[in-house]
Every structure is written in structure tokens, then in C-alpha cells.
Chain A
């Protein structure tokens, strides 16, 4: 790779604009929300006297701006807040911390906005293809069982597609569900769903915002091929105690937040538990009423500002799904994450963030109980040390650089039997350990009034570490050799350079063109060959057999706002090439298989498409319409006779319509509609008999389609009269209003009575009404 070239280019571009003769001083500080002290990410400071000069806050609310000596009027602003003006005489470096307040009279105009964005930031920013959501903005949207869910709402935006009812995960621009990096306060979340995908693990009450990067992914992110979903937890109110919560059909939640030391530190604790199984208790059937089926999760975060230069954070998530069938069978899985973070203002231009991150995902199932039981336990555990710097070089350049080192431990499975009566050998599959590292540098640069650039480079490396056994397989997947590695020995090393680039060219204040390119490496892979995804899907690290997945994407977009930025439109096209994609040999056994790597085959993929969106962001009526035309194809030498075939998520047409209408102070109405081409599936072409079984005859992979999916949801939120200390509302939603029987699965079987072969469609959700009551003590 041309590493030298890129560095030279970087130095050149920086040097080109950074020399200046006048003496300069720096203004830096934080911008926060006046009501609760939460950091505002993307808030801006603009210099009234100078055209096109300003800065915006990083994810921790920190900004820095360098100006020549002089008198200035600074305008601090963020979408949804009143602007604050500061007049300054700049003759030395200054620290200015600003609190922005929500306008006193409720301004409906700003009710639904993308948080803290400048009105036309979608047009003028260099970053393309990023979707940011604030849970507040979507609280009125109708959702299944009334559980508001940022992940489900993101799936209504262009290029993002849910994996379908009853399936965890989502697809971004034709990539697989395991190609999305999901971060919660910097910690990897391996399984982001509860109840097999009906809900996400993200409790909206505890979340500040969610950003989804589809292309031009910033260099600080790495490890997945297709996208990054970055979820940031709220810091908690640092001014006063506040309690809020909700009662729903399926679950209830409660959030408490308060200052630790007023204006200096705060905490938030948010919990949620479902009680679906309470209904099962009503059953007379002892098998059903002794069944447990629930999930819970707990988000907690605390932060403390030691002084203007140092702030520490501690955040954690713990969630679990528990399922027990009578006393015979137990199955539970969950994530736990923890993040320790230190923000340090090194000087007025250099901001540092150091994080120590822990993440764990595990599942286990147990059959039987007590003396006569056996069970399987499996887990993935990560420790990650991260160091990130933001260097505010000058008003046109902001540089980010840093590194991280993440240690993975994969425990694919341990079978434990409490008795050997049944002749089971107690077996543990070899654990795998790996060190994944990343080093990056990136610069955001403005050139003149028209160009914004973001260019960066990431180096990533993945070292599979012994002790362990490396297996060698022949071309049909049979074991032909193996080698034992000692503890600490490197079993395989993979590495790559990942260039990232975004550019925007502003045609006018309300028109721009953006271009992006990114290369991403992915070193760990999720294996699943069933029609439905499950928590037991196996993760394998790259090894001597499994090569890292590589994604190269180019994207081009045109953005246009009109009616004073009330309407935003965009057209984006992309082409993505995927290398080293994984599929499976026929009849592959993926679970509890020491030689699972022998079951894998490798090929390539390509995805391309065009996405249109029209969005109304202001006024009583807001929402968007998006349409995506796309393909996602795969090609494997060992599959489908080497011919190209549709990936399961090859949904050619995809339409989402989201509408929110604020009727008056009391009532908000909402609706969403989705339509997409049915998933590509493999169906039989004919049948024959073997030993009396009817067996399907197959010709081509994924050559059929599921029926097209479409669904309309409607919601109504009733706001009760607001009191000084108390605020509450009632949300009524109807999922699948016109009772469409969407296909979850189509299976083929022999009718037991007639002996005829028939196709059977399973539908998970017909019409589902729900009621949720939300409250807030202020």
C-alpha cells in the first residue's frame, strides 16, 4: 500500500493552509444543555465578524477555535436551542463554557429535528451517509408492542433494512448482519437484540443519540465491513433529580438521574424488564405456566468533572434474555459492557480521550436439572484500550488520531454433563484468543467556502494467539493436517491499510455534492446457515484458514434543501465490493464443531444501489419518504456451480414512509409504512423420494423470492396537561393496521392426511395494538 503517499498528502494539505502571520489566540470550552447539563455534540460556535469561520463540538461537547487578536461576537447555537451571544476581546487564550437553553415557550417548529445539527449541515458537512437519531424525535412513532426503539427506526432510513420480523440485526447497503459494528459507549455489542430480534437491547430512555455511518466511515472506527452504529448513552441530569418511565404491554421501564455534585457530576440508571411470561402463568397447562420468558436490561452511567480540564465517566450495560421451558430446558443469553473514560483537555487545542472498555456476550443452555443435566456454555469477551486525540489545528483543520488494542477471547462452546450415565464425553472446544489493533489519523479540512474534506488512514492488524490448534483442510473440507501452538505464540497474523475519504463541494448554501470512499477490514465473522438468526450463531476469528473480509465502497451523493431548510432531499449512489465472504458447505454443522473452519467456503460479493430521500424537518408535519433501488450479489466457486446469485438481503425495491403530525398541544399522530421486495430464497424445483421421505430437488441458490413485504403502523400520543413537576402521556399504537399476513417463513411439507406436498407460510404478527403510558417527574 501507498502509505508514504498518504502521509505526504496529509502533510501537504495541512501545510497548505496552516501558515499565517498574525498572532492567534484560541477559544475553547464546552457547550452543554442548560436544563440537564448533557454535552451537546455537533453544537456550533460562529464568528459574526468573519465569514465562514466557526467550530463545532466533538462527541464530548468540547470545541476549540483559533482567531487572530481582535474583538468578536461569538454565536453559540445548536438546533432546538436558543442561541447565545458572547462579545469578547481576544488578546489571550480563553476558556468559555456555554450552556444553551431550550426556548421557554414550546416551539413546535423544532420538535422533530436531527439533534443539534445546523439547519443545513446535511448539505455542508463533509461527512456523507451518516444518519443520526435522537430518541426524543421518534417517541411518537408507532412500533411493535409500543416499545420505542432507535434501531427499528433506523431501519426506516434509506440503505438500512431490517432482517425481518423475528430476526435480529439489519443489513446496510447489501452487507450482512454481522458486518455492522454496534457500539454502546465505545463498547462492542455482539448481539443487539432481545427476544430473537423483536426488540433491540437499546433502551431509548438511556440513550442520547445514535449515529449510523453507511459510507465514508471515519478512520477512528474499524473492525466491520459495512457500517458503524455508534450509540451514546446519556450522562444524566447534573442539575436536579429526575425520574421518568413507562408502563407498556410487554415491558416497563424506569430511569433515575441526579447530580452527584451539582453542575459537576451526575449519574443515570435506567432499567427495563419485560413480563411476557406473566401471561403464561395464566395458562392451565403446567408446561406453559412453568415456562419463563423475559428479558431485562440495565444501563448505568456516571460522570464527574474534576475541573475544566479533566472529566471522568463510568458507564455500563447489562442485559439478559431468559427462557425456561417447564423444568426441562433453560436458555439464556446476554451482553455486558463497561466503559471507563477520561476526557482530558491537554491544552486549548488538543483534546484527549482515554477509554478502557470491556465487553462480554455469552449464552448457555441447560437440559435437565440437578444431578442429571447437561449444558452448553459459550462466550466472547473483549478488553479494549483506546486513546483518541482531537487536535484543533486551526479554523480549517481538525485532526483526529489515536490507537486502540483489543483483546478477544472466544469460547465457542463447552459441553458440561453432570453425569456420565449417558456416555457423553465432556468436551470443550478450543478457546481462541486474538489481539486486534488499530492506529489511525484523520483530518477534516475546509478549503475556501466550497470544499470540505475528510481524509484519513487506518492501519489494522489481527493476531491470533495460541495456545491452540491450527487445522489444515483440503479443497473438500477434510482435515489433512494440524499444528499445535504454544501459549502466546502467533497462530496467524492479518493486517491491512484502510483509507477513508469524504469530500463535499458546496454549490450553493442549499446544494452540495459529496463523494466518499472507504475500505474496511473485518477480522471476526459470524456463522449462520439457518433461515433465522439466533443467539447461538457462532463467531470465528480470522485464522490460517479464514481470511479477513474486505469491503471497498465508493459513494456519490447530491443534497438539496429548500424552503429555508424545511425540506431536505438527497440522492446517493454506491458501489460496494466485498472480498473473502463466507458461506457454507452443504449440510455444514456450525454449532459445537471443532473443525468448523472446514465447513466454510469463500467468495466475493458486490452491492450497488441508489437511494432517494425527501425529508421534512420543520413544522407541525414532519417525516420522510425514502426509496432504495439496490442489488446485493454473491459469487462462490463452490456454490451454485460458481454462478452469481442473490444474497438473501437482495431486496431490489425498498420504500419507507414516516410521518409525524402534531395536531395540537395534546395530540400527536404518527404513521409509518414499509414496502420491500421479498428476500431471495431457495425453493425446490421438483421432488423425489428417498426411503419414503419426500425430498426437494434444488437447482439454483436463492432463485426464488419471498412474497413482497409491506405494512402500515399508526400511532397516537396524548399529552396530558403539563404540570410544573410532572409530565405524562399515553401512546396508543397499532402495528400492521391492515392486517397484512407477511411471510416469516415458507416451508414445504407433505400433508399428513392427504399425502400431497404443499407450501406453508408462517406469519408472525398480524394486527397488534399496544398502549404505553409514559411519565416524568421533573
Chain B
């Protein structure tokens, strides 16, 4: 698809132009947004509550500071999150029980929102093999780093990889890099960070998050909405009831760090 856009771009270089325009967008009643994660490997739960804001507004969104937020573990034990102010609610030293459902419940203004996420055992990162790639193909010469993963048999797995490097050019902390085991079920396989080139001496930190299906689908749809090329963008399907936006995800991770050597 990228090539197609490049092709379109080439045709356009002759006459095309872009400009910022005014679009009259309809006013919508503010909607509730709950972005929440249980970072199981870090024993912490964070929920951020806000309202949607006018699309062209330059102000910060209105936060929801008067809610009560609680999390329920697979045994049904309810723990209340601290109200940290400015719409943020958090909980620390909350030890995970893997392979179980966690629920987050948010109450305010007489409405209760709840969402459930399955906390999978985090898939281990076996290693971060790297390989020198000469110039010409997909960019400059340099080292391409891959993740070596042993896919757990008999279950569907969904992952998100985050990489942070000492080389700022290849720092993709906020990229949403998703993959699943549809084609590799039960295999030992490698997933490369395809577009990145590293030099000797660079340090790369990789975090492999094991997501549940609902979170994976949420991110997939989020990417499609953010991409801007969809003819019919919609709100990503999520696990909240009562039409709240955002998501609740419980996930664990494994991390590795390497330094590229000659």
C-alpha cells in the first residue's frame, strides 16, 4: 500500500497541492473516554478518565475527577484505585494472577462502566538476533534486529512489540507494532524490525507485550482509524459497556536488551 501511495504521490507532483481548510463539524455531546491498563509485570494499574472534546479545540480535554474506580481479580477480590487527580486513578504493588480475567469498574454521575480483559502468561522473548544487511534493499546498510519467539502451542497469541533504542532515529516507542501467531502457530519464529538499521554500539531495548484478543482487535482498529485512508472510519470496538471509548487491557511482558557488536 505504501508503494501505491508513493505512486499516487508521483502523479501528484505535477500539479497537486494541499491546504488547510475549514470544515464545519457537527457538535456531539461529550462522550466518556476510559484508557486503562493493568501493567501486570510492573504490578500497577492506571486509568485515565476524560471526555471527548470539540475536534478543532486547542484546549485540553475535560477530565473526570469525581469517579470511583476499582479492579476485580480472577478470584473476585475488589481493590479500589487511588484518585491521583486530574482524571488519573492508579494502584501500585498489585500482584498479578496470570491466566485469569480482570475487570475494571468505573462509577460516576450514576453510571457504572465496566470492562474485562484476560491476563495471559507473558510469552518469553528467546533472544534478539541481529544481522548485517548491506545497502540497497530496504534502506541503508546496517544491522537489522529480530525478535526470536517460541510460539506457545494450542493457543492463539497476540503481541505488541515496543522498542526503544539509544539511536534516536530508530526509536519507535510510540509505534503500534502488532503481530499474531496465525501463520506461525507452534513454531519458533523471528519477527524483524524491518525498517530499522542499527550501528555497532547501539543499545536496543525490546518489550514484548502479550495481549488478549479484545485488546489486539482494539489496536488493529485504532491503527486503521489513525491511518486515515479508511473510507468508513468507526470507533474501535472495545470492551467497555455503556458506549465508553478507550479500552481496558491487562497484559504482561517480557523484555530484552542488547548492544550491537561487530
The 8 Å CB contact of B35, one of A367, A691, A702, is A691
Q: Does A71 contact B (CB under 8 A)?
A: no
Query: What band does the interface of chain A fall in when counting residues whose beta carbon is under 8 Å from B?
Result: 35 or more
- In the complex, whether B83 has a CB less than 8 A from a CB of chain A is no
Q: A291-B10, A697-B52 are in contact. Are A682 and B21 (CB under 8 A)?
A: no
Which of A493-501, A525-533, A540-548 sits within the interface?
A: A525-533
B21: contacting residue among A166, A749, A760, CB under 8 A? A760
Least CB separation from B2: chain A residue: A329
Question: A536 — which chain B residues lie within 8 A by C-beta?
Answer: 1, 4
- The answer to whether A531 and B229 touch across the interface, beta carbons within 8 angstroms, is yes
Number of residues of chain B lying within 8 A (CB) of chain A: 72
CB of B85 within 8 Å of the partner chain:
no
Asked whether B231 lies within 8 Å of A531 as measured between CB atoms, the reply is yes
Contacts of A15 in B (CB 8 A): none
Indicate if the CB atoms of A584 and B52 lie closer than 8 Å: no
Q: Identify the stretch in A263-271, A400-408, A418-426, A557-565 within 8 Å (CB) of chain B at 4 or more residues.
A: A418-426
Decide if A677 is an interface residue (CB 8 Å cutoff). Answer: no
Residue A284 lies at the interface, judged by CB distance under 8 Å to chain B: no
Q: Is the CB of B231 within 8 A of A196?
A: no
Binds B, one of A205-213, A236-244, A764-772: A764-772
Q: A749 CA to B56 CA in the complex, in Å?
A: 10
B225/A696 in contact, CB under 8 A: yes
Cα-based distance from A764 to B10 in the complex (angstroms):
11
C-alpha spacing A702/B222, complex, angstroms: 19
Does A762 lie within 8 Å of B18, measured CB to CB?
yes
C-alpha gap A203/B117 in the complex (Å): 58
Neighbour of B131 across the interface among A195, A421, A534, A688, CB < 8 A: A421
* B51 CB contacts on chain A under 8 angstroms: 688
| Complexed CA–CA distance, A750 and B8 (Å) | 22
Q: Is B224 close to A, CB under 8 A?
A: yes
Query: Which residues of B are found within 8 Å of A329, using beta-carbon distances?
Result: 3, 6
Residues of A close to B17: CB separation below 8 A: 741, 762-763, 766
Interface centre among B1, B231, B245 (most CB of A within 10 A): B231
Cα distance A702–B232 in the bound complex, in angstroms: 7
Q: Which of A586, A703, A748 has the most CB of B within 10 A?
A: A586
Q: Is the CB of A759 within 8 A of B15?
A: no
- B106, chain A: closest CB distance, angstroms: 15
Interface string of A672-703 (1 = CB under 8 A from B): 00000000001111111111110111110111
Contact: A323 with B234, CB < 8 Å? no
Q: Are A692 and B174 in contact (CB under 8 A)?
A: yes
Check: B11 CB closer than 8 A to any chain A CB.
Answer: yes
Instruction: Determine the distance from Cα of A765 to Cα of B13 in the docked complex, in whole angstroms.
Output: 10
**Binary interface encoding of chain B residues 7-28 relative to chain A, with 1 for a CB under 8 A from any of its CBs, else 0:** 1101110011111111101111
Partner of A422, one of B192, B229, B236: B192
Task: Report the nearest B residue to A735, measured CB to CB.
Answer: B15
Contact with A along B174-214 (1 / 0, CB 8 A): 10100000011000011110100000000000000000000
- Contact between chains at B137 and A762 (CB < 8 Å): no
Shortest CB-to-CB span from B16 to chain A, Å, is 5
Chain B residue numbers with a CB within 8 Å of A648 are 231
- A697 in complex: contacting residue of B15, B28, B191, B192, CB < 8 Å: B28
Per-position 1/0 for B48-63, Cβ under 8 A of A: 0011111111100100
Shortest Cβ distance from residue B98 to the other chain A in the assembled complex, whole angstroms: 24
Shortest distance between the CB of A194 and any CB in chain B (Å): 11
Among B183, B223, B226, B234, max chain A CB count under 10 A is at B234
Secondary structure at chain B's binding surface: helix, strand, loop or mixed?
Answer: mixed
Whether A280 sits at the interface, judged by CB under 8 Å, is: yes
Closest chain-A Cβ to B226's Cβ sits at a distance in Å of 6
When the two chains form their complex, are residues B61 and A688 in contact, meaning their CB atoms are under 8 A apart?
Answer: yes
With contact pairs A531-B230, A683-B25, A687-B53 given, residues A766 and B15 touching in the complex (Cβ less than 8 Å): yes
- Give bound CA distance, A291 to B20, whole Å: 30
B54-80 interface (Cβ within 8 A of A): 54-58, 61
Say how far A280's CB is from chain B's closest CB, in angstroms.
7
Q: When the two chains form the complex, which single residue of A328, A421, A697 contacts B31, counting CB atoms closer than 8 Å?
A: A697
The answer to whether B174 and A586 have CB atoms under 8 Å apart is no
Interfacial residues of chain A within 34-82, with CB under 8 A of chain B in the complex: none
Contact flags A432-466 to B (C-beta < 8 A → 1, else 0): 00000000000000000000000000000000000
Do the beta carbons of A328 and B15 come within 8 Å of each other?
A: no
Query: Which of B31, B51, B137 gathers the greatest number of chain A CB atoms within 10 Å?
Result: B137
Q: Residue-by-residue, is B232-257 near A (CB-CB < 8 Å gives 1, otherwise 0)?
A: 11111100000001110000000000
In the assembled complex, the Cα of A703 lies from the Cα of B24 at a distance in Å of: 12
Contact with B along A267-294 (1 / 0, CB 8 A): 0000000001000100000000001010
Within 8 A of A (CB), among B99-134: 131, 133
CA A741 to CA B236, docked complex, whole Å = 33
| Binding stretch for chain B, among A304-312, A368-376, A604-612 | A368-376
A683 touches B23 (CB 8 A): yes
In the complex, are the beta carbons of A425 and B10 less than 8 A apart? no
Cβ–Cβ contact A198 & B19, under 8 A: no
Contact of A196 among B7, B16, B58, B228 (CB under 8 A): B7
Most buried by B among A367, A695, A764: A695
A758 beta carbon closer than 8 Å to chain B: yes
CB distance from B245 to the nearest CB of A (A): 6
Cβ distance B93 to chain A, nearest Cβ, rounded Å = 24
A327 is an interface residue with CB less than 8 A from chain B? yes
| Complex interface: chain B residues within 8 A of A695 (CB) | 222, 225-226, 245
Residues of A717-765 at the interface with B, using a CB-CB cut-off of 8 Å, are: 741, 744, 746-749, 755-765
A365 at the binding interface (Cβ < 8 Å): yes
- Name A133-176 residues within 8 Å CB distance of B: 166
A423 and B192 contact, CB distance less than 8 A:
yes
| Chain B residues with CB below 8 A from A325, complex form | 3, 6-7
Contact A757 B56 (CB under 8 A): yes
B30 interface residue, CB < 8 Å from A?
A: yes
CB pair A689 B233 closer than 8 Å: no
Q: Can you offer 7 A-B residue contacts whose CB atoms are under 8 A?
A: A198-B11, A293-B7, A293-B11, A423-B146, A682-B231, A686-B30, A761-B18
Q: Which residues of A contact B (CB under 8 A)?
A: 166, 195-196, 198, 276, 280, 291, 293, 323, 325, 327-329, 331, 365, 367-369, 372-373, 421-423, 425, 427, 528-532, 534, 536, 583-584, 586-587, 589, 591, 639, 648, 682-693, 695-699, 701-704, 741, 744, 746-749, 755-766, 768
5 A-B pairs with least C-beta separation: A587-B221, A685-B28, A423-B190, A686-B52, A587-B224
Q: 16 other contacts beyond A323-B3, A761-B21, with CB at 8 A cut-off? A: A196-B4, A196-B7, A196-B11, A329-B3, A369-B136, A423-B192, A587-B224, A682-B234, A686-B28, A687-B54, A689-B33, A695-B225, A696-B55, A762-B16, A764-B11, A764-B15
